[in-house]
Amino acid sequence: MKVLVVGSGGREHALVWKIAQSPMVKKVYCAPGNPGISEVAECVDIDAENIEGLYNFALKKKIDLTVVGPEDVLVAGIVDRFKDKHLNIFGPNKRASVIEGSKVYAKTIMKKYGIPTADFKVFDDLKYAKKHISTCDFPLVIKADGLAKGKGVFVCKTLEEADRHIDDIMKEKIFGYAGERIVIEEFLSGEEVSILAITDGKTIVPLSSVQDHKAVYEGDKGPNTGGMGAYSPVPFVTDDLQSSIEENILVPIVHALKKENRPYKGVIYAGLMITNAGPKVLEFNARFGDPETQVLLMRMKSDLVPLLLSTVKNNIEEVEIEWHDGVSVCVIMASKGYPDKYEKGLPVFGLEAVKSVTNVQVFHAGTAIKDGKVVTNGGRVLGVTILERDLEKAQKNVYEAIKKLSFDGAYYRKDIGTKAINKKNL
């Protein structure tokens, strides 16, 4: 079969890498792809947001399955367009993708159906939002309603900080129309964890647990990013806790969306805080996470393609997932200045040398080709990912592998997985 993957980041590189291993697949295309993806798939010069271009390409090439990476194009309705011609496509339709496209909608449906989440209020008026925060306890959390590339959430420790971020979102419009409404919610304490599940709208197949590291600096300090690294599985997510998350969060949200005439098919990502009162939802995403996908697919022993196809064909209950023993860790190498302003076009060194390192894959997140050489082309540049027998060894060896790679101003957190190792050693 022929498969088209839509997107150009580390998540899409991991999807292409895994899909290309399937004996069911003869050819993989990626639109638009990146230099790393081009080593395992044919990159097509069609922008990920160009729904008509992708649709026409899939028709022309008789693509058997399209897999969508980025959220923007899901929210824009690519799945609906492809289904007009009965083209197989993995991902939720436009109505179901609102679970990520609008944080206000997500919070409202959770409240309506009793899915555990932080208390919140919604504002579309700057003056009333500021009046509200003057009565709040701190810290609190402010979120832009719409899509903001993982950067629309602010944890505010003081009134002054909250006031500034409300101005940024609603007055300065740093996220454009995505900030026309905001959610102000209570701050939740605990351990953050991501649980992704695949669903055909009837059956849910949860994937293994992942812990992302969203803050840019070590010790979870600094502004949020799209993710600076992740590891899987998470030691404190026991079988009982995983079952509780499935029973109280994943199953209810899929059923709730069905009742709201927004039937959900694809991957649903629950970003959770494990509080003293149990797991609570921080956010839902309508697609594979990044860098969660990198560690999950490194650990997945099963063929991914039957899982994706069964979701489209509504028979996911027939598919079982096997996992490799051990732990996967992904560390993001980012451009200096990320998540704010950063330089592009800097040469990347060591990509050939790192290929000799056992159990390591380097997923390209923000790279391009310039004068025949790989250069930086984004805030998050590379996702260095490893599979090892335990977390300590995985952490040690992934950082050894990173030493072989370089570009001017390269920055990465040196504590991915450290919190879990420290807890384990208590």
Mind listing the pLDDT tens digit for each residue in 71-85?
999 999 999 999 988
What value does the mean pLDDT take over residues 257-281? 97
Lay out the sheet containing 360-364: strands in order across: 278-285, 266-275, 191-199, 204-212, 229-232, 327-334, 380-388, 360-364
Tell me, yes or no, whether 159 lies in a domain: yes
161 with 221, same domain: the answer is: no
197 with 296, same domain: the answer is: yes
Residue 19 — pLDDT band, cuts 50, 70, 90?
very high
What's the angle, vertex CA 375, arms to CA 153 and CA 295, rounded to 5? 50
* CATH number reported for the structural domain that contains residue 133 in this entry: 3.30.1490.20
* CATH number reported for the structural domain that contains residue 362 in this entry: 3.90.600.10
237 with 178, same domain: the answer is: no
Specify the pLDDT at position 224. Answer: 86
pLDDT tens string 184-199: 999 999 999 999 999 9
Residue 319 — pLDDT band, cuts 50, 70, 90?
confident
Domain-ending residue, one of 266, 291, 318: 318
Residue 426 reports pLDDT greater than 70: no
CA distances in angstroms from 233 to 78, 249, 294, 363, 422, listed in the order given: 32, 19, 12, 19, 15
Domain-ending residue, one of 293, 318, 343: 318
| Residue (of 256, 144, 153, 244) closest to 199 by Cα position | 256
Specify the pLDDT at position 425. Answer: 65
Contact 404, 354 (CB under 8 A): yes
Specify the pLDDT at position 410. Answer: 98
Tell me, yes or no, whether 44 lies in a domain: yes
What residue numbers bound the domain in which 56 lies? 2-91
Specify the pLDDT at position 283. Answer: 95
Specify the pLDDT at position 6. Answer: 98
Q: In this structure, what token pair is assigned to residue 244?
A: 């509780």
Q: Measure CA of the first residue to CA of the last residue in the chain; give whole Å.
A: 50
Residue 414 reports pLDDT greater than 70: yes
Distance of alpha carbon 413 from alpha carbon 415, whole angstroms: 6
Domain count, the chain: 4
pLDDT tens string 322-349: 999 999 999 999 999 999 999 999 999 9
Specify the pLDDT at position 289. Answer: 94
Residue 162 reports pLDDT greater than 60: yes
Tell me, yes or no, whether 342 lies in a domain: yes
Tell me, yes or no, whether 114 lies in a domain: no
45 with 74, same domain: the answer is: yes
What value does the mean pLDDT take over residues 381-392? 97
Tell me, yes or no, whether 146 lies in a domain: yes
135 with 175, same domain: the answer is: yes
Tell me, yes or no, whether 419 lies in a domain: yes
Tell me, yes or no, whether 110 lies in a domain: no
Domain-ending residue, one of 186, 210, 228: 186
307 with 335, same domain: the answer is: no
Report the relative pairing of strands 278-285 and 153-156 from DSSP bridges. unpaired
237 with 206, same domain: the answer is: yes
Specify the pLDDT at position 317. Answer: 87
Tell me, yes or no, whether 339 lies in a domain: yes
Of all residues in the chain, the percent with pLDDT exceeding 90 is 95
pTM of this structure: 0.96
302 with 209, same domain: the answer is: yes
Specify the pLDDT at position 4. Answer: 98
Residue 311 reports pLDDT greater than 60: yes
pLDDT tens string 196-243: 999 999 999 999 999 999 999 999 999 889 999 999 999 999 999 999
- C-alpha torsion sign, points 4, 22, 37, 72: positive
Residue 368 reports pLDDT greater than 70: yes
* CATH number reported for the structural domain that contains residue 14 in this entry: 3.40.50.20
Residue 151 — pLDDT band, cuts 50, 70, 90?
confident
Residue 160 reports pLDDT greater than 70: yes
Specify the pLDDT at position 10. Answer: 98
* CATH number reported for the structural domain that contains residue 196 in this entry: 3.30.470.20
pLDDT tens string 91-149: 999 999 999 999 999 999 999 999 999 999 999 999 999 999 999 999 999 999 999 88
288 with 371, same domain: the answer is: no
309 with 354, same domain: the answer is: no
384 with 411, same domain: the answer is: yes
69 with 151, same domain: the answer is: no
